[in-house]
Each structure stands twice: as C-alpha cells, then as structure tokens.
Amino acid sequence: MSRMNKLFFCIPQEVGPIIIPLLWLKTPYMISVYFIITVVIGIIIIMGNIAALVEFIVHKTTILGRCSNNDSCDNAYGNYLAIAIFSTVISIFLSVHFAVVINDYRHNQNGTGPYAPA
C-alpha cells in the first residue's frame, strides 16, 4: 500500500500538488528544453548511425577476409549493409520529424506558430 501513496510512483502525495502545477506553469520553457534535448539526441543518433555505416564500409575487406566462404559472406555483408542504410535513413527521418513536431508545438504554445491569432 505504500507504493500507492506516491503520485506517478515517484512524487510523494504531499509534494505532488505543489510540484505538478509548478511544472505546468513553466510549460513553454519546459517545451523549449525538451526541444533542445530532442535535437541533441537526434544529432547524436544520426552521427552514430553514419559513423557505423562508414566504419562498416571502410573495413569491408577486413570483415570479409575473416570469412572462410566468401560467397555467403558477400551476400550477408550486402544484406547487412542494405539493412543498415535503410535503418539509418529511417532514423534520420524520425529524428527530424520529432524535432519538427516539438518545434511546431513549442511555437503554438508561445503564440508564434502559423495558427496564432493575428
């Protein structure tokens, strides 16, 4: 029963009614911080995926040199490379999409978005 005494399982009930409204009062600021964090994480993910692709392409001869049967290794290498490129493209698309959505929401909250009253 002690677990039920906490709001959102991490904030005690006594403090919750004070903390939650304070967070809601700073919504535009929190959205701006969330946008910055999203962009930084997106850049890190994109750079990591691109670095992994470059590493995989640059060391192709080393990777294939360790195989005993080159035909199956060539096929496996090609399949893995296609999957890696596809996942990198999807990752870039999703990272940019989430950044744009959060940025649009941030502008709407600040009253500067495309649907803001004139």
Mean pLDDT of 54-63: 85
Could you give the CA distance from residue 87 to residue 51 in angstroms, rounded to a whole number?
Answer: 13
pLDDT tens digits, one per residue of 86-116: 988 998 898 888 888 888 887 777 777 666 6
Q: Which helix (H) or strand (E) holds 7?
A: strand 6-7
pTM score, whole prediction:
0.63
pLDDT digits (tens, 9 = 90+) for 36-53: 888 888 899 889 988 988
Q: What percent of the chain has pLDDT above 70?
A: 69
Cβ atoms of 35 and 106 within 8 Å: the answer is yes
User: Which residue ranges make up each domain of the chain?
Assistant: 27-110
Please report which residue ranges of 1-118 form alpha helices under DSSP H: 16-25, 27-58, 60-65, 70-110
Q: What is the mean pLDDT of residues 1-27?
A: 58
